[in-house]
Amino acid sequence: MCINMVKVAFKVNGEHIELDVSPRELLINTLRSKLGLTSVKYGCGIGECGACTVLVNGEPVLACLTLTVDVNSKDIITLEGLSKNGLTDIQRAFIEEGAIQCGYCTPGFIIMAEYMLREVPNPTISDVKEYLKGNLCRCTGYINIFRAVLKAAKSRVSR
Amino acid sequence: MSVEFMFIGKRTPRKDAEAKVTGMLKYTYDLEVPGMLIGRIVRSPYAFADIRRIDVSEAVKMGAIVVTPSDIPQKPYNPRLVSINEVTFKDTYILTYKPRYLGEPVAAVAASSEELAQKAAECVKIEFEKIYKPILDPLEAIKPESPRIHEKIMKGDKWIEVENNIAARLDYDEGDVNRGFEEADVIVERTFKTGKRYHMQLEPKAVLVVLEPGGKLTIYTTTQTIHNTRILISQLFDIPESRINVIRVPIGGSFGSSIQTNYLVPIAVALALKAKKPVKIAYTREEDILDHSNFVFHFKIKIGAKKNGVFTAAEFINILDVGAHQVQPYPLLGTSLGWFISMYKWKNIRYRGIAVYTNKVPGCALRGYGAPEVQWAVETLVDEIAEELGIDPIDLRLKNYVGKGELFWGQGPTVKSIIKSDGVPELLLKGKEIIRWSERGHPSEKKGRFRRGIGVGRGFHTSGAGGPISGEVIDYTGCILKLNEDGTLDYITALQDHGGGTLDAHVKIIAEELGIPPELVNIATASTETTPYDVCTHASRGTYVGGECARRAAQIVKQKILEAAIRIIGRVVNPEALRIGYDKELKQAVVYVEGTDIKLTLAEIARTSWQRNWGTIGAFVSYRATSAPPSFTVYYVEVEVDTWTGKVKPIRVVAGVDVGTPINPDMVEGQLHGGFVMAWGMAFTENTAYDPLTGEIMGRGLITDYKIPTAADVPTPEEFTVIIAKTYEPTGPFGAKGLGEAAMNPAVAAILNAVYNAIGIRFYELPVTPDKIIEALKEKGELEW
Amino acid sequence: MVIEIPLVNITARNTHIIPFEFEYYEPRSLEEALELLAKFKGEAKILAGGTDLLVKMKTRIIEPKVIVNIKRIQGLRYIIEENEHIRIGALTTLRDIEKSTIVEKNLPALHDAVKVMGSIQIRNMATLVGNLCNASPAADTAPPLLVYNARVVAMSTRGKRFIPLEEFFKGPGITALEPDEMLVEVIVKKNNKGSSAFEKVSRVVVDLAIASAAVYAEISSDGVIEDSRVAVGSVAPKPIRTRILEERIKGLRLGSEELKKAIYEIDREISPITDVRSTAEYRRHIVKVLVWNAIERVYRRIRGECV
């Protein structure tokens, strides 16, 4: 069937959303402009920088390369959803370790760090590099981000 | 000098931390206002062409707002206001019929959505009068037979002819260079060329222009300088400054990319004025790379030295490829010279600098404003001379560097001051131990596929561009500090925090001066109409210049608080006996007299001043620094070269820095990490190459082919050591100096000196890609394949 | 002579959005999808992972009139081990392959390749079949599948055909698929005698290959190559098998000068170019090192010295 406006229904940060969208609408623009979730950052639009990373059914997805029609009936988590009940251990570690500078890439990094700790609760530095290598940062040289993620992992494991 | 501080030098969370880790902080692209239109820019499909006419009828029929050069004041401008007007060269037009690089804005449209604006932009038809072959090499551009990219430009308020595509020039002579070289036992001469790097700040540039009722303009934009943005818009559109308000919006990194008013700002203003509606333009990444990138540097440097390791003369020829338009290459000719002169005591100097137009993306400042390039070249040559003379490279540096008590030319010939703090010996000697310099060996001893080497690079950056006399560069700042009615304070400044924590440093300085906790100080939202002028958050001046301004304001406020306290206490107190401090029991700042029961909370003082109509306790300070002291950096780097693949890997880094008093040590570390990684990219991967036929950035200008280091390319925390020299800068706030650029400047030199130590090959053209390493190994007969 | 300077329509590109409209279809079955392809012929593009297609649309390299999103079709995402074969479905992502123990055990070169492709986000979205259909000379999954003698299954309303992967690639961005055909499956025959490995070199860790090489080899316990298949990427208009090389290295010992010399034979089979990523000369050099390294890794694998 050919579709020109599509009714989509999906969950964002636990909330049910129903929208009519054009098939060419990108998830990044739906989340940012229609739902006000501006933690999802545009950095390149071609999947190179990771700033628009969100979790779709628990898996990391680049919102700049995803059609909104494609998340129909799926469950999306953005950074806004991760910290609904206060700062997470990762967010606290980012603050404590000086892992933030300009902050523009930070949401993407925190989403990926969260995903990694769910998959690999006890990561090595190589794991951290592997999971975060798709997120570009131009300020920190990544080093304090590594520290923060390893620290959060430690605190999560010991909990 | 050792001073005990309450807050300075201690870790405190940055004030914007929570907003950043939760993604709640709004950057320019995140801003929306009702009724806003989205603007799109129509860009030249040719790198060098003259337009006959632009047909907008179809776009207008669609209902789009369209502007072309005919709708806009055709005044040449320079997007960066930093030099005084007499030496500001102006060749840029908001929209142009004479595009001089591929992607130059020629028209713009605005519509209710980005999709519609895109469609309208594609409907604009451009008819060309003439299309020229792009000139991409400055050495070709200066040939008399090359077509002129610009014919007439303005210098200050006068029109001048451009000859041989030379945009600006600067010469300088000191001493007798010929005699200096005659006296030399060793002379080394080399040519160097850099890549054309791109800032790749994570947030692409954006602007939102709102037409307020009554016609006033409010501008939100990615900028390092709200005031210069306002001045420029005022000049371009003949609107009084009082009718333009530029708001400071958090910025997603800059590194110089918004040191100027970016091209989209006046374009959005033109659209908003025509539409009488708010207009937002946000660059896509592929547009951002077309807005500005760095200059390309071509150096020829000759240095002479005596057997005992004393330099006798230096000659420096500097050809800057500025791209299609000037974004202050003239001061860059001056700073390049300044960086060069302030590295070592050359004694006799000859400098010839020209800035040349090409049909490339206009060059603008990129972290260091020429210093990473100059220091890479100089530190390479110093290593070569040390080897020729058989002197340890560290000893040679210690012997010749420009240090304490000597004249320092931070930002060009008109910005000079005497160096008062200097951690170079400490950093060179400490770092040498940590990296195990003595074990590094000679390249000739190194065999096998994987070879390791250790290199050193020493350099500096200035803290701002202040000085004892006013020269060609504008540099002053201002701030307001006021005590609120409950004892908290609002700190108001036009300075920007690019991410390095500049404004948090100011808060700590204020807190230290007042003796109150930083939590009491609010960083107020700022705009041009509520702040005194500040030139720009650039030149690593945020902490040093802005911080000292804040300290002075705090000093005044403190005095006034004590005066009010005396008034409340109501009995005779020696004002000098009064102290301000934090009372842990009361959890408040208090004014007290030691050894007595006299104690007033700051809140009480503030409230009393309010309730008794004494007026607001506050300070307004406009401040120019009388010095631009160098922050010295020393990098020791160990690398491993895979001689089969030509790939280089970082093994260990020792980053030493002299920032005077570190206001926030963890942010100092963060700057060094980031500086090193940016240098790694400059050394090995970063370049925008141009298609010789079309003048397009190769790889379609996508960052798929502009590679900055990823998390998997950099050292681990264990492999990276930071040392902070114990120095105190007497002219800085609590002894502090700047850092942002010093953090990177000599790192490229250290990295490539390490490559030399590993394989015995020097590279004079950046980036040093694997193919160059393999080619060089082959030439040397050391390629095993 | 007047040189025609080509126009570069920069204004048309916009990576904020998809800058043009298209007809959109979301078939629920393979049959429905094939009918759509038959109907629209070359005007339709299949959307699976989207990581290549949407980039090309945003930057106006392609402008399809019709998009057929196959992601809602059930039963196309699988990695199945079946007797002597492993079958991989059209919607199987690179991350699925990375996490598959079947692939790790039986197709180590393919496993190596997906691990060094893009970021985890990209691997989570991109499909193996998409990587093949994109037909980039730099497609990292191609050299491993070439050394496995993989076949692909193309389907249309006209029926089904099996195409050896080597015949599938025709040139940069060009495949053997007819406009109405869809690549539905990749079939790889298991081979337990030897082992395989993949090597690549790139500018930074997350990047397209400057060059790549995959080797399947049977190597005796004392290090003599008894049989091999070698394929390379980014050194020709398409990923290629290098049969002259394979012939020449037979019977040679690992680490020997003879082997090194024999690897130079690859020069006769490759035709690298200089582009924004590297130079032809470097590619000519590095591909040899990559082949050498891959052979070494295969041997270590056979000896159980690495996974």
In a domain, B146, yes or no: no
**Distance from C-alpha of A55 to C-alpha of A76, rounded to nearest angstrom:** 6
**Distance from C-alpha of B638 to C-alpha of B753, rounded to nearest angstrom:** 9
State the CB neighbour count (10 A cutoff) for residue B201: 26
Q: In terms of domains, do B615 and B680 share one?
A: no
Mutate: best of A46, A74, A120, A130, partner C, most C CBs <10 A: A46
Q: Which helix (H) or strand (E) holds B728?
A: none
Q: Report the alpha-carbon angle B620-B624-B628, nearest 5.
A: 145
Q: In terms of domains, do C238 and C212 share one?
A: yes
Choose the final residue of a domain: B580, B596, B623: B623
Give every CB contact of residue B610 below 8 A, 6+ residues apart in sequence. Answer: B485
Choose the final residue of a domain: A82, A106, A133: A82
In a domain, A19, yes or no: yes
Q: In terms of domains, do B127 and B272 share one?
A: yes
In a domain, C27, yes or no: yes
Choose the final residue of a domain: A34, A65, A82: A82
Q: What is the pLDDT of residue A2?
A: 52
CATH code: domain of residue C296:
3.30.390.50
Q: In terms of domains, do B461 and B325 share one?
A: yes
Residues in C closer than 8 angstroms to B205, CB to CB, are none
Residues 44-103 of C with CB under 8 A from B: 59
**Distance from C-alpha of B104 to C-alpha of B97, rounded to nearest angstrom:** 10
Burial, B244: exposed, middle or buried (Cβ in 10 Å; 0-12, 13-18, 19+)? buried
Q: Which helix (H) or strand (E) holds B408?
A: strand B407-408
Q: In terms of domains, do C60 and C89 share one?
A: no
Note down the domain range covering C136: 79-189
C204 and B713: CB-CB below 8 Å? yes
Q: In terms of domains, do A76 and A13 share one?
A: yes
- Mean pLDDT per block of 10 residues along chain C (307 residues) reads 86 98 96 98 95 98 97 97 96 98 97 98 98 97 98 98 98 97 97 93 97 98 97 98 97 97 96 97 98 98 89
State the CB neighbour count (10 A cutoff) for residue C2: 5
Residues in C closer than 8 angstroms to B46, CB to CB, are 5, 7-8
* C18 contacts chain A (CB < 8 A): yes
B202 contacts B253 by C-beta, under 8 angstroms: yes
Q: In terms of domains, do C183 and C276 share one?
A: no
A38 and B498: CB-CB below 8 Å? no
Q: In terms of domains, do B111 and B239 share one?
A: yes
CATH code: domain of residue B593:
3.30.365.10
Q: In terms of domains, do B102 and B45 share one?
A: yes
Q: In terms of domains, do A58 and A117 share one?
A: no
Residues in C closer than 8 angstroms to B783, CB to CB, are 285
Number of compact structural domains in chain A: 2
**Distance from C-alpha of B513 to C-alpha of B515, rounded to nearest angstrom:** 6
Count of alpha carbons within 13 Å of B183, Cβ hemisphere only? 17
Mutate: best of C53, C91, C117, C120, partner A, most A CBs <10 A: C120
SS (H, E, C) B169-226: EEEEEECCHHHHHHHCCEEEEEEEECCCCCCCCCCCCEEEEEECCCCCEEEEECCCCH
Q: In terms of domains, do A12 and A78 share one?
A: yes
Structure-block tokens of residue B427: 């950093």
- Closest-approach residue (CA) in chain C for B113: C17
Q: In terms of domains, do A75 and A20 share one?
A: yes
Q: In terms of domains, do B425 and B448 share one?
A: yes
C24 and A46: CB-CB below 8 Å? no
CATH code: domain of residue C35:
3.30.43.10
Choose the final residue of a domain: B575, B593, B623: B623
In a domain, C241, yes or no: yes
Q: What is the pLDDT of residue A3?
A: 58
C11 and B700: CB-CB below 8 Å? no
B640 contacts B649 by C-beta, under 8 angstroms: yes
Note down the domain range covering B556: 17-24+476-623
- Closest-approach residue (CA) in chain A for B504: A101
Note down the domain range covering A44: 6-82
In a domain, B607, yes or no: yes
In a domain, B762, yes or no: yes
Q: Report the alpha-carbon angle B209-B214-B215, nearest 5.
A: 35
Q: What is the pLDDT of residue A69?
A: 97
Task: Tell me the average pLDDT of chain A.
Answer: 96
DSSP notation for B59-123? HHHTT-EEE-GGGS----B-S---B-GGG-EE-B-SS-SS--STT-EEEEEEESSHHHHHHHHHH
Q: In terms of domains, do A110 and A59 share one?
A: no
CATH code: domain of residue A27:
3.10.20.30
The one-letter amino acid at B301: I
Of C7, C12, C201, the CB nearest to B46: C7
The one-letter amino acid at C27: P
Closest by CA to B540, choosing from B286, B737, B408, is B737
C205 and A133: CB-CB below 8 Å? yes
Q: In terms of domains, do A73 and A99 share one?
A: no
In a domain, A1, yes or no: no
Residues in C closer than 8 angstroms to A118, CB to CB, are none
- Closest-approach residue (CA) in chain B for A64: B284
CATH code: domain of residue A153:
1.10.150.120
Q: In terms of domains, do A47 and A73 share one?
A: yes
Number of compact structural domains in chain C: 3
**Distance from C-alpha of B476 to C-alpha of B481, rounded to nearest angstrom:** 17
| pLDDT tens-digit series, residues A49-102 | 999 999 999 999 999 999 999 999 999 999 999 988 899 999 999 999 999 999
The one-letter amino acid at C121: Q
Q: In terms of domains, do B389 and B538 share one?
A: no
A45 and C206: CB-CB below 8 Å? no
CATH code: domain of residue B75:
3.90.1170.50
For chain C, list the contacting chains (3+ Cβ pairs, <8 Å): A, B
Closest by CA to B20, choosing from B261, B274, B251, B284, is B251
State the CB neighbour count (10 A cutoff) for residue B60: 15
Strand-by-strand arrangement of the B489-493 sheet: B521-523, B489-493, B477-483, B618-623
Q: In terms of domains, do A69 and A97 share one?
A: no
Q: In terms of domains, do A96 and A42 share one?
A: no
C-alpha separations of B540 from B383, B630, C35 in Å: 27, 10, 63
Q: In terms of domains, do C182 and C202 share one?
A: no
C-alpha separations of B551 from B492, B546, B577, B659 in Å: 13, 9, 21, 17
B655 contacts B725 by C-beta, under 8 angstroms: no
Choose the final residue of a domain: C69, C87, C116: C69
Strand-by-strand arrangement of the A15-21 sheet: A15-21, A6-12, A75-77, A53-56, A59-62
CA dihedral C258, C260, C266, C268 (to 10 degrees): -60
Q: In terms of domains, do B238 and B318 share one?
A: no
In a domain, C5, yes or no: no
**Distance from C-alpha of C28 to C-alpha of B613, rounded to nearest angstrom:** 76
Q: In terms of domains, do B673 and B759 share one?
A: yes
In a domain, A137, yes or no: yes
Q: In terms of domains, do A34 and A68 share one?
A: yes
**Distance from C-alpha of B633 to C-alpha of B461, rounded to nearest angstrom:** 8
B519-524: Cβ within 8 A, 24+ apart: B520/B487, B520/B488, B520/B489, B520/B589, B520/B602, B521/B488, B521/B489, B521/B490, B521/B491, B522/B488, B522/B489, B522/B490, B522/B491, B523/B15, B523/B491, B524/B490, B524/B491, B524/B492
A50 contacts C121 by C-beta, under 8 angstroms: yes
Q: In terms of domains, do A47 and A99 share one?
A: no
Q: What is the pLDDT of residue B576?
A: 85
Q: In terms of domains, do B651 and B694 share one?
A: yes
Burial code (b: 16+ CB inside 10 Å, e: under 16) for A40-73 equals bbbbbbbbbbbbbbbbbeebbbbbbbbbbbbbbe
Looking at CA atoms only, how far is residue B644 from chain A in angstroms? 24
Q: In terms of domains, do A108 and A147 share one?
A: yes
Strand-by-strand arrangement of the B158-161 sheet: B89-90, B152-155, B158-161
Residues in A closer than 8 angstroms to C208, CB to CB, are none
Q: In terms of domains, do B438 and B303 share one?
A: yes
Q: In terms of domains, do B512 and B491 share one?
A: yes
Q: What is the pLDDT of residue B1?
A: 45
Closest by CA to A37, choosing from C124, B22, B116, is B22
Q: Which helix (H) or strand (E) holds B469?
A: none
**Distance from C-alpha of B439 to C-alpha of B447, rounded to nearest angstrom:** 16
Choose the final residue of a domain: A47, A82, A117: A82
B217 contacts B168 by C-beta, under 8 angstroms: no
In a domain, B142, yes or no: no
- Mean pLDDT per block of 10 residues along chain B (785 residues) reads 80 94 98 97 98 98 98 95 96 98 98 98 98 98 97 97 97 98 98 98 98 95 98 98 98 97 98 98 98 98 98 98 97 97 98 98 98 98 98 98 94 90 98 98 97 98 93 96 97 97 97 94 98 96 97 97 94 85 86 91 96 97 96 98 98 98 95 98 98 97 97 98 98 97 98 98 98 98 94
Number of compact structural domains in chain B: 3
Looking at CA atoms only, how far is residue C94 from chain A in angstroms? 13
Choose the final residue of a domain: C189, C215, C246: C189
Give every CB contact of residue B124 below 8 A, 6+ residues apart in sequence. Answer: B42, B54, B55, B56, B58, B59, B66, B107, B109, C11
In a domain, B384, yes or no: yes
Mutate: best of A4, A28, A39, A142, partner B, most B CBs <10 A: A142
